Structure 1
Amino acid sequence: MTKPAKRKVLFISADQWRAECLSILGHPVVQTPNIDALARDGVLFREHYAQATPCGPARTSMLTGLYLMNHRSGRNGTPLDARHTNLALEARRGGYDPTLFGYTDTSADPRGRDPNDPALTTYEGPMPGFTVGMLFPDHAKPWIAYLKGRGYHLPNGRADAYKPRPGFTLPPGRGFRAIPTIFSDAESETTFMADTFLDWVSVRRNENWFAHVVFLRPHPPIIAPEPWNMLYDPAHMPETPRAASLEAEGAQHPYLAYKLSRIRPGDGYDEHNPLDFARLSDLDLRQLQATYYAMMTQVDVQVGRIVDHLKATGEYDETLIIFTCDHGEMLGEHYCWGKQVYFDPSFHIPLIVRDPGMQATRGSQVAQFTEAVDIMPTILDWLGLKIPHTCDGRSLLPFVAGSTPPNWRTEARWEHDFRDVPDQDPETALGLHSDECAYAVIRDGQYKYVHFAALPPLLFDIRNDPHEMHNLAGDPAHAGVMLDYAQKMLSWRLRHAERTLTHMHLTSRGVVALV
């Protein structure tokens, strides 16, 4: 392996991207030629999983290397304890100035802050340690200002920007979400993000830099500019796994029934969409999927622009490039939309690592289970920096070099905290205390076990039931499997319980610490 003289990091994260949605993996619809090229020049991790949902908790695990049970920022709006280190803070120890383009959805620790501090009015703050190149929270003000400068009338800001284009006539065979945006592809938030980063990096050719570039898409609202709105034909969408009816689907579990009861127009999933997401027509269901896939291809084009720039400047062979996302998307499976339910599509996400110094493993694919907590130690390892012993993840560089690290995990795990502190909605609907609104999952190549704090568990035979249609938790024939996986989960939690000081011991000689 030849290490480059300059060492740069490009950490790209999309939002709400399903793992299988890469054409290199044989997806029947979506085309991602630029990300495919990156995978052929790097290593693709096929069984990579998010640690939590929604966005804030998922990104917190990715950037701190901690499981949810340790960082405890479980909701968009739950403060992140300021004592935790993170990827940006650790990179600074190596002389880097990690710069954020996009968002991390980090909720500030309120202790020690004045109650009037504006940081306490939003969950969309930047992760401590990042220099902000451009913050892109929900209001998207930098982009809205750009659109206004181009003559768009947007008195309501982002809400106006995503309105469907007035007067557009839908052609036959197209659903509501084929109506395009009022802005063009060149003016889209996706192109705007790439342009902003390219401006920044254009004057840093001879520097070591570290950039975290976050694309909003394919996160809702599911609406695309021309020509992306017509890129994929709804008639060509794959089948959507679901029960025969909404009611039959909800019978699987009380939490699923609760989530399905909350799918309604105006629920925030997809702005300006008048449709009932629980009872979509087949055409509108397929059109939503087609537009979702099109937004992925739109992101792919911008990733290609960024890679092309790095190649043109000679920086491509100096830069560690990572492409991943925060969490997945249900996309109508099980009648669900978004990511806050226990099924695999909410948590199974893409990961590509391209190490410029690795030649022999280019184009390889890794089948072992990897997790979002592995990102932080991987980047720190590549930079030659110490990995904090608090990290729950491990470096993926041995895989990138062609070997499997010893004692590697044989399953993926994730958690979801679904409490609602302000409104107490799930608590009231399900008769739970806020501390009971949680579940944890362990999933390997055969079974998937879902343990709720105060609701019935679930068990799926993933090998024979990959779409998780049949809950086996009540089957006496699987009682032994249930016990085995419950014990695995308990052992996992015991091994990974918070350990900031547990590897230290005070003695008469002073502090003894494990390295």
Structure 2
Amino acid sequence: MPAPKNVLLIVVDQWRGLMLPKLGADYLKLPNLDRLCAEGVTFRNHFTQAVPCGPARASLLTGQYLMNHRAVQNTIPLSSRFTNLAHELRRGGYDPALVGYTTTTPDPRHTAPNDPRFFVLGDIMEGFHSVGAFENRDAYFGWVASQGFEMPKTREDIWLPKGAPGAGATGRPAVIPKELSDTAWFTERGLDYLRGRGGKPWFLHLGYYRPHPPFIAPEPYNSMYRPEDMPKPVRAASPAEEGRQNALLDYYVRNVKQASFFQDGKDLGSDMSEAEVAQMRATYCGLMSEIDDHLGRVFDYLKETGQWDDTLIVFTCDHGEQGGDHYLLGKIGYFDESYRIPMIIRDPRAQADSTRGSIVDRFTETVDTMPTILEWMGLPVPRQCDGRSLLPFCEGEVPADWRTEVHYEFDFRDLHYSKPESALGVPMDRCSLAVVQDEKFKYVHFAALPPLLFDLAKDPGQFINCAADPAYAATVGEYARKMLDWRLGFAERTLTGYRATPQGLEVRAA
């Protein structure tokens, strides 16, 4: 009998793409991800299609650009007319299990308005079988209480630093011990699921909340890194100077608050000193090392049970984190820090032996994830998918006509926790930007604001907008055309391959 085909899709949250030792971040202690990189392929220029969580995960799990799935922000519904990775796996006979979350709001045309999923930031995407849901956090907090831990009146206070209340970035550990952290809980739920499979083939979306804020780590991860060893922030001389680049950037510089990132945080993110940014980054790295330790437990289990060489392992993320660069916190705007994400693929097949430990520099995108998994499992890739399989890279080949640029988008309409639309006076349906970026230039097109152009060779930090410089007029026109070509070539096409003929229904794949 053929060996079972298993897939472990690891999706972390808010992990910057270049923060892997394999890609030069040698200050990080990630031995288990190093192990995965050594046995797989690491993609240096891998980008998400959108931020924040909901839009990014919609692109990851439907294989579509934001302009097609249109779940443009957290809390915005995802249309039920689209298939997704889970539905396609079910067609292939798999019961796709999910630990974590997808931040998906259901289609209101097919869901009652009083459905509890409309009262939260997002819920589980249709088709997945949840074996460790984190959407409302009830299961996690219930588990913590069941372990004998005395829960505070406000349950989120377990993420406060020990001792007196904090006020922003801190090296003090969280109240919760490492054995009861959310990272530990996700790992336990994933291992429980794997232990129960009894040799049957499986697909597991193993999600982790970290290194998502609040930026507070349990012992010993809170002190694993020294602030003085952290890279310096990439930012202008002052928040005011940074904000002069663009009205949207200025809004975020003046409005993103630390309280969204630190328990008891005060003031604006842009008010953080270099020392505070360094401490925040040290804690952020500690949360990464905590995940790495727990991934080691999962990897060891697969090896001990003889499943390591039957399992495709994909390690990726929803989006990045500004981390103080450009005076910003979170995942917003148009800078690389928010959009470049990690991607590591360990293909256990013999065909991938020649590429183990290699790095791919070609541009790849999160929409490539779904086609990669489906192709590896021998399942058809739906026409709705805008991405392409990355398996040829694992086999040492560069697919013909591979993309030479990446595209990503951001929608900044008003939500209950952020109001840039109102502040800028931009109509809701014009609160959008789209980026085309290659090795030379980055062009940012706004529906209702002036465009941006960055000469990446001269200005890798993206401080100087060349869009209005006459010397770059031809380049602006060229990249605007690239943007238009992309939109025309990838317009939503789920049904455009079907046609009626005198002989009946005809289907064309491309």
TM-score by length of 1: 0.95
Corresponding residue for residue 243 of structure 1: 236
Corresponding residue for residue 316 of structure 2: 324
1:32-431, aligned counterparts within 5 Å?
A: 32-137=30-135, 139-167=136-164, 176-266=169-259, 268-357=260-349, 358-420=352-414, 425-431=419-425
Partner SS, residue 420 of structure 1: coil
Give the distance between the partners of 2:76 and 2:2, measured in 1 at CA: 40
Give the distance between the partners of 1:473 and 1:30, measured in 2 at CA: 37
Partner SS, residue 278 of structure 1: helix
CA RMSD of aligned residues (A): 1.8
Q: What is the number of residues matched between the two proteins?
A: 507
Judging changes above 3 Å, is the alpha-carbon distance between structure 1 residues 422 and 291 closer, same or farther for their aligned structure 2 residues? closer
Shift of 1:164: 1.4
Conserved 8 A contact 2:253-2:269: no
Shift of 1:261: 1.3
Conserved 8 A contact 1:144-1:161: no
Conserved 8 A contact 2:414-2:422: no
Give the distance between the partners of 2:426 and 2:397, measured in 1 at CA: 46
Judging changes above 3 Å, is the alpha-carbon distance between structure 1 residues 194 and 422 closer, same or farther for their aligned structure 2 residues? closer
Judging changes above 3 Å, is the alpha-carbon distance between structure 1 residues 423 and 15 closer, same or farther for their aligned structure 2 residues? closer
Partner SS, residue 352 of structure 1: strand
Judging changes above 3 Å, is the alpha-carbon distance between structure 1 residues 423 and 212 closer, same or farther for their aligned structure 2 residues? closer
Shift of 1:162: 1.2
Give the distance between the partners of 2:272 and 2:121, measured in 1 at CA: 31
Shift of 1:158: 3.8
Letter in structure 2 aligned against 1:110: P
TM-score by length of 2: 0.96
Judging changes above 3 Å, is the alpha-carbon distance between structure 1 residues 157 and 101 closer, same or farther for their aligned structure 2 residues? farther
> Percent identity among equivalent residues?
47
Give the distance between the partners of 2:487 and 2:247, measured in 1 at CA: 25
- The worse-fitting range, judged by mean Cα deviation, of 420-429 and 95-104 is 420-429
Shift of 1:97: 0.5
Conserved 8 A contact 1:28-1:238: no
Conserved 8 A contact 1:144-1:157: no
- The worse-fitting range, judged by mean Cα deviation, of 457-466 and 46-55 is 457-466
Letter in structure 2 aligned against 1:209: W
Partner SS, residue 271 of structure 2: coil
Q: Once the two structures are superposed, what CA deviation does each residue of 1:151-205 show, in whole Å capped at 9, x if it has no partner?
A: 333344542221211259x9xxx98421111111111111111111111101224
Give the distance between the partners of 1:390 and 1:496, measured in 2 at CA: 9
Judging changes above 3 Å, is the alpha-carbon distance between structure 1 residues 424 and 317 closer, same or farther for their aligned structure 2 residues? closer
Corresponding residue for residue 512 of structure 1: 506
Shift of 1:271: 3.0
Shift of 1:145: 1.2
Conserved 8 A contact 2:78-2:105: yes
Judging changes above 3 Å, is the alpha-carbon distance between structure 1 residues 176 and 76 closer, same or farther for their aligned structure 2 residues? closer
Q: Once the two structures are superposed, what CA deviation does each residue of 1:85-125 show, in whole Å capped at 9, x if it has no partner?
A: 00000011111000000000010011132222222222321
Conserved 8 A contact 1:232-1:294: yes
Give the distance between the partners of 2:360 and 2:61, measured in 1 at CA: 22
Give the distance between the partners of 1:90 and 1:316, measured in 2 at CA: 24
Shift of 1:420: 1.4
Judging changes above 3 Å, is the alpha-carbon distance between structure 1 residues 203 and 249 closer, same or farther for their aligned structure 2 residues? same
Give the distance between the partners of 1:215 and 1:40, measured in 2 at CA: 22
Q: Once the two structures are superposed, what CA deviation does each residue of 1:206-260 show, in whole Å capped at 9, x if it has no partner?
A: 1100000111100000000011111111111111111000100000111100111
Gaps in structure 2 of 5+ consecutive residues? none
Give the distance between the partners of 2:258 and 2:21, measured in 1 at CA: 32
Conserved 8 A contact 2:210-2:287: yes
Letter in structure 2 aligned against 1:383: M
- The worse-fitting range, judged by mean Cα deviation, of 473-482 and 198-207 is 198-207
Conserved 8 A contact 2:159-2:214: yes
Conserved 8 A contact 2:257-2:266: no
Judging changes above 3 Å, is the alpha-carbon distance between structure 1 residues 146 and 429 closer, same or farther for their aligned structure 2 residues? same
Conserved 8 A contact 1:29-1:293: no
2:488 alignment partner, one of 479, 494, 497:
494
Give the distance between the partners of 1:409 and 1:303, measured in 2 at CA: 32
Judging changes above 3 Å, is the alpha-carbon distance between structure 1 residues 340 and 176 closer, same or farther for their aligned structure 2 residues? closer
Q: Once the two structures are superposed, what CA deviation does each residue of 1:360-381 show, in whole Å capped at 9, x if it has no partner?
A: 2111111110000000000000
Give the distance between the partners of 2:117 and 2:140, measured in 1 at CA: 21
Give the distance between the partners of 1:176 and 1:74, measured in 2 at CA: 30
- The worse-fitting range, judged by mean Cα deviation, of 280-289 and 86-95 is 280-289
